[in-house]
Structure 1
Amino acid sequence: MSGESYHAFAHVYDLLMEDIPYREYAEWVRKVSGPAEGKTLLDIGCGTGTLTEQFAREGFRVTGIDLSGDMLSVAKERFEEAGLEGMFFEQPMQEMEGHTGYDLAVIAIDSLNYVTDAREVAAVFRHVFGALHPGGRLLFDVHSPYKMTELFLDGPFTADLEDVSYIWHTYPGEEPLSVESEISFFLRRQDGLYVRKEEFHLQRTFTPDTYIRLLEESGFAVRSVTADWTGEPPAENSERIFFHAVK
């Protein structure tokens, strides 16, 4: 994902992502981590800070990292309006630096799928390993191979809301288990006219075995691999796969 990706998306992202199960995600993190009070949490690929805010409200001391300065501007505004404390840094997750002493790291809502080279995924894991305390936990999710090769190609996907609409075309990418998305946004202006914006996104996933290997090579012990909020191992038609690893 380039630095320009999500530029137009940032200010309408929350409207279009209302169906994302943020509450379930926070509950999963809380179940794994135990009581939040006083613990430090690194939210990697934090976007507009919706989930980061939930973590902060639960008592985590939060730091957010994202590639998009536009997304982080929304996240900072969100925290200021809510009177919450949090630090935010504009960094690619595969190049993040200067972070140490965290109890928990989260890469939520398939953010890791924007890292499309296995060597860079390994770099993410190495950086996270260095950022955690001994015993610290990494929690993340990714799209399943089934979702990349089947469900994403059922488009186009559309949404028509009061102030924004989009058409989302997705095509097979050049690399295995990758997709390329072209997104046309139509943003309603105050005068009632619409402005059209274009985005291009590239996402890629890897098999669960590949993620496990890269985690273990980075020093992590993998505690669980589950799918679709079930707590059960992934099946052939699972859509979202969750990983819990410990330093």
Structure 2
Amino acid sequence: MFYNLKESLEKPALYTKSKEAFWDDEYISKQMLKAHLDPDFSGASRKFSFIEQSVSWIKEKIPAQTYPKLLDIGCGPGIYAEKFALENYQVTGVDFSKRSIDYAKKSAQQHGLANIYYYQDYLAMDLKQSFDLATLIYCDYGALSTKDRQTLLDNIYQHLKPGGKLLLDVFSQKFYQQFQEEQKWENCENGGFWRPDEYIALYGNYKYSNDVTLEQTTIVSDTEITPYYVWNTCFTKDALIKEMQEAGFEFCEIFSDVTGRAYNEENKTMAIIVEKNLGGQVYEKVGYLVNKCRGY
């Protein structure tokens, strides 16, 4: 037990994954849903006022008349998805939290919306259909490892129609620069976000040399020592565009956030719109196979 505690206080290897899928934990997912639905809290979803601005901009920039079938990746309880539906998009949502998906389905039914939701890991989603527009909002993309980001982009690409668009946001270099490394702890005598009963939470914020940050929470009680990891890969404008192009997408535009504010390198986030480029993807696949045959 002491060794596990000592180990949990050390800086972990890059992109170490949580052993527990906390977003689908019976108790934690309930707390996350509450956070999602709190209109004034921005720790799980952005504030409702921001979401309203975001949807208003998206419907003008990538209108439902031209891009009717929308795939909302990491849709959570359907907050964005429902607003998209009210703007005449045909919405399909995917999320790996069963509680959130169950809530989204019930809410859509109550509001008379035709939204379709799937409880799936978006790294392995297989929806047997294609879409005109995919959204991945709230900087989820940068929470993945380099390999998982490649997997996700390939998966999204396969689910988009030719000429289909992808909108996502990430944290920028400004976020990385301002991120502060620290370690602290909290005694939760009456339980809290992570557990219903008493526990101690050890928090560790760490920076890595390749523009990656980690927010680590370790739960300590009489019966467990459980670490949870939230990674964030931070991008420059050029690095983000390059990563999209390597996956076969064609760069369209870049912004400071998903409300369409003009790009500013002093902003902590940036949003990008890219388009499915069939020729580019074929080129990448052929190049990969050629290099594999050559032993590279």
Q: Which TM-score band (shorter chain)?
A: 0.7 to 0.9
Match of 2:206 in 1: 172
Match of 2:217 in 1: 182
Among 128, 135, 145, the residue aligned to 2:156: 128
How many angstroms does 1:200 deviate by?
Answer: 3.2
- One-letter amino acid of the structure 2 residue matched with residue 128 of structure 1: I
TM-score (norm 1): 0.78
- Closer, same or farther in 2 for the Cα pair 1:175/1:99, shift >3 Å? farther
Match of 1:11 in 2: 33
Residue pair 1:179, 1:203 contacting (<8 A) in 2 also: yes
Match of 1:53 in 2: 82
3-state secondary structure, aligned to 2:271: strand
Match of 2:112 in 1: 83
Name structure 1 gaps, 5 residues minimum.
157-163, 185-197
- Closer, same or farther in 2 for the Cα pair 1:10/1:80, shift >3 Å? farther
Residue pair 2:72, 2:91 contacting (<8 A) in 1 also: yes
Which protein shows a greater Rg? 2
Among 81, 86, 103, the residue aligned to 2:132: 103
Deviations 1:79-104 (A, max 9, x none): 12212111111222222223432110
Counterparts of 1:104 and 1:119 in 2: how far apart (Å)?
23
- Using the aligned pairs only, state the percent identity: 20
Asked if 1:227 corresponds to 2:244, the answer is no
Q: Stretches of 4+ moved more than 6 A in 1?
A: 164-168
- Closer, same or farther in 2 for the Cα pair 1:225/1:37, shift >3 Å? closer
Counterparts of 1:230 and 1:85 in 2: how far apart (Å)?
27
Counterparts of 2:106 and 2:216 in 1: how far apart (Å)?
28
Counterparts of 1:140 and 1:50 in 2: how far apart (Å)?
16
Counterparts of 2:32 and 2:103 in 1: how far apart (Å)?
7
User: Larger deviation: 17-26 or 52-61?
Assistant: 17-26
More strand by share: 1
How many angstroms does 1:63 deviate by?
Answer: 0.5
How many angstroms does 1:171 deviate by?
Answer: 0.7
Match of 2:269 in 1: 240
Residue pair 1:138, 1:245 contacting (<8 A) in 2 also: yes
Equivalenced residue count is 226
RMSD of aligned Cα (Å): 3.1
Counterparts of 2:21 and 2:234 in 1: how far apart (Å)?
24
How many angstroms does 1:149 deviate by?
Answer: 4.2
Name structure 2 gaps, 5 residues minimum.
1-16, 185-191, 195-200, 220-225, 277-296
TM-score (norm 2): 0.66
- Closer, same or farther in 2 for the Cα pair 1:96/1:149, shift >3 Å? farther
- Note the 1:173-212 alignment, pairs <5 A: 176=210, 177-182=212-217, 200-207=228-235, 208-212=237-241
How many angstroms does 1:210 deviate by?
Answer: 2.8
